[in-house]
Amino acid sequence: MVSNKRKISFSKKDALIRFGLVLAILILLNIVSRFFFYRIDLTSEKRFSISAPTKTMVKNLKDVVTVKVYLDGELNAGFTKLKESTRNTLEELRAYGGRNIEFMFIDPMAVQNLDERKALMTDLMQRGLSPTNLTTKSKTDTKQQLIFPGAILSYGGREFPVQLLENQIGYSPQEVLNNSEVLLEYKFANAIQKLTQFRAPRVGFIRGHGELNEMETADMRQTLEGLQYEVKDFDLSANYYIPERFNALIIAKPQRAFDEKDKYKIDQYIMRGGKVLWLLEGTNASLDSLKRSPTGQFAVGNDFNLDDMLFKYGVRVNTDVVQDINLCNPIPLIVGAMGNAPQTEMFPWYYFPLLVSDNTHPVSRNLDPVASFFASSIDTMKNPGVQKTVLLHTTQNSKAQMAPTRIHFGILQGKPNPANYTQPNLPVAVLLEGTFESVYKNRVSPEFLAASDTMETLKFVEQSKRSKMIVIGDGDMMRSEVRSDSTAYPLGYYVYTKQSFANKAFLLNCIEYLVDDNGVLETRNKEVKLRLLNTVKVQEEKLKWQLLNMAMPIALVVVAGIVFGYFRRKKYQR
């Protein structure tokens, strides 16, 4: 009897010692974990991870970023998933940013007073958020409500709107929501970068060679200013050099040739690490000129005196006009008259191809087609120090029509023969990255070099630091159509079909990539696979899977209970 009591006391003592050891280990692990931060994402696409540039940015925040997400309340399954993905992204940002990341979810429709609710919705729209009409269907009725799938970030007294829902043409609702989830990190990281940047990036529009005017680039300028860019015009002829204060230059559809002095200024700007977005047209083809001539237009090649520069950097804009019979915009043509009124009909115009991308580069990933107008193809040259990436190209059934050539409406009289369109995927936009060599290397005189060495601002540099530029073979890609009242349509809006294309989004990505040295745009490369259920199979096997998910767990618990009870009785009966 005494031995049994001793055994019981020893067992209690051992249990207390074990409990104390486990508790001490847990406390020690908790203390150590405060000094060692680590997270593991077990998903194949790393959907719950954020990129290194984003981590660095939020870790270095000097003040609190407040995020107000206006996506809450009664939502359907798709938007509920977008809401939860937004929450997960913000929690991941807070895991690295700590107390400097605060967020809250707000339902604008929860405001009971109708006047206050309308005032709130008006305020949200004025601050940059766009509403979406959400239709929710049930077995008994269909409900419609206005939601604001967006967020407003605040930092240091400044605000920046973020639209969470992508606006993509030709995608199913599930694909649109999935692509919206993919871009959440990029949108929040980009907004935080804009709010926390020391000074606004300065973008310069080159003037003096017949480039697109302020009205034709009005929408792009206004959009850039709304995204915290400083936009300036820069006249090459009125300045000795291009200041390094310009983060990027835009050369949009020049009409006149560049002289050697202006070329030299651009070249040396690039050699000092400057970034350039070139939008050049290989020919003088124009729809207005074509409509004025009954026999068509005789298109010839443009000579901007830039071929040697671009060739040295690694590309050549060809003097041709690209045609695409698979994907192009239509134009209206008069086919007859009814009384005194002309009758028009829309015809596919192969010289207005819609450009696409099949690579995973963040500049062109997950974008709608980009509209082009009499675009020219681009060739890439062998240049070991420069990496070339084709951002936009035509489809499989395309060809390049070399200048000089006659362009006329007669090609629309019959169906095109695919056998004549055998130049697939013609490049129209190319990214160049690397170290560029000056086109003036071994070309400038010793006297000039001796004089330039005395002036630091003009000192000749023959090879650049690592830099980048984008060359586009269509100047009209950045041109907004101008209304009769001298106001500009949104960039990418095609007046004949009233459709909007991804011109603005693509060009904004180009500029963002050129000026972004932190790699934030790389987060657009994130990919989350869309795994949709087979709805037909779901209906056919509905009962089987219901039994597996509901009846089987209950049956397993009952069987486990019976087996456990059987062995327990058998043990204690002995």
pLDDT in tens, 26-72: 888 777 766 655 566 555 555 667 788 888 888 989 999 999 999 88
Residue with tokens 């209304």: 483
Dist CA 552 CA 549 (whole Å): 6
- In this structure, whether the domain defined by 201-525 belongs to CATH 1.10.1200 is answered with no
Where is pLDDT greater, at 426 or 158?
426
Residue 410 confidence (pLDDT) above 60: yes
pLDDT at 168: 62
pLDDT-derived band at 133 (thresholds 50, 70, 90) equals: confident
pLDDT at 449: 56
pLDDT at 454: 44
Phi, psi of 261 (to 5 degrees): -65, -45
Dist CA 142 CA 140 (whole Å): 7
Q: In what order do the strands lie in the sheet with 150-155?
A: 101-105, 65-69, 150-155, 158-163
Q: Which residues contact 228 (CB under 8 A, 6 or more apart)?
A: 160, 194, 195, 197, 200, 201
Average pLDDT for 388-409:
94
| Mean of the per-residue pLDDT values of the chain | 85
Between the ranges 74-88, 91-105, 307-321, 357-371, where is the mean pLDDT highest?
307-321
Residue 539 confidence (pLDDT) above 80: no
Average pLDDT for 471-500:
91
- The three-state secondary structure class of 68 is strand
Burial class of 441 by CB neighbour count within 10 A (0 to 12, 13 to 18, 19+):
middle
pLDDT at 453: 47
The strand pairing partners of 60, in sequence order, are none
Residue 375 confidence (pLDDT) above 80: yes
Dist CA 344 CA 539 (whole Å): 48
Of 67-71, 121-125, 527-531, give the lowest mean pLDDT range.
Answer: 527-531
Of 303-317, 407-421, 512-526, give the lowest mean pLDDT range.
Answer: 512-526
Report percent pLDDT > 90 for the chain. 44
Residue 460 confidence (pLDDT) above 70: yes
Where is pLDDT greater, at 381 or 334?
381
pLDDT-derived band at 531 (thresholds 50, 70, 90) equals: low
Residue 455 confidence (pLDDT) above 50: no
Q: What DSSP string describes 137-201?
A: E-SS-EEEEEE--EEEEEETTEEEEEE-S---TT--HHHHHHHHHHTHHHHHHHHHHHHH-SSPP
Where is pLDDT greater, at 288 or 520?
288
How many other C-beta atoms lie within 10 A of the C-beta of residue 496?
14
Where is pLDDT greater, at 48 or 386?
386
How many other C-beta atoms lie within 10 A of the C-beta of residue 389?
18
- The three-state secondary structure class of 57 is helix
pLDDT at 477: 96
Average pLDDT for 312-321:
96
Where is pLDDT greater, at 520 or 215?
215
pLDDT at 141: 66
Where is pLDDT greater, at 181 or 495?
495
What does the DSSP 8-state code read for residue 500?
E
Of 100-104, 116-120, 286-290, 518-522, give the lowest mean pLDDT range.
Answer: 518-522
| Helix H or strand E segment including 450 | helix 446-452
- The three-state secondary structure class of 491 is coil
pLDDT at 5: 54
pLDDT at 166: 78
Average pLDDT for 310-338:
91
Residue 414 confidence (pLDDT) above 80: yes
pTM of the model: 0.78
Average pLDDT for 229-244:
91
Average pLDDT for 558-563:
86
Per-domain residue ranges for the chain?
52-195, 201-525, 535-573
Do the Cβ atoms of 192 and 155 come closer than 8 Å? yes
pLDDT-derived band at 406 (thresholds 50, 70, 90) equals: very high
| Helix H or strand E segment including 466 | strand 463-472
pLDDT at 275: 96
Residue 302 confidence (pLDDT) above 90: yes
- In this structure, whether the domain defined by 52-195 belongs to CATH 3.40.30 is answered with yes
Dist CA 327 CA 349 (whole Å): 9
pLDDT at 333: 86
**Nearest alpha carbon to residue 300 among 406, 411, 428, 409:** 406
Phi, psi of 322 (to 5 degrees): -85, 135
Residues 256-290: pLDDT tens digits? 999 999 999 999 999 999 999 999 999 999 988 88
Residue type for position 446 = P
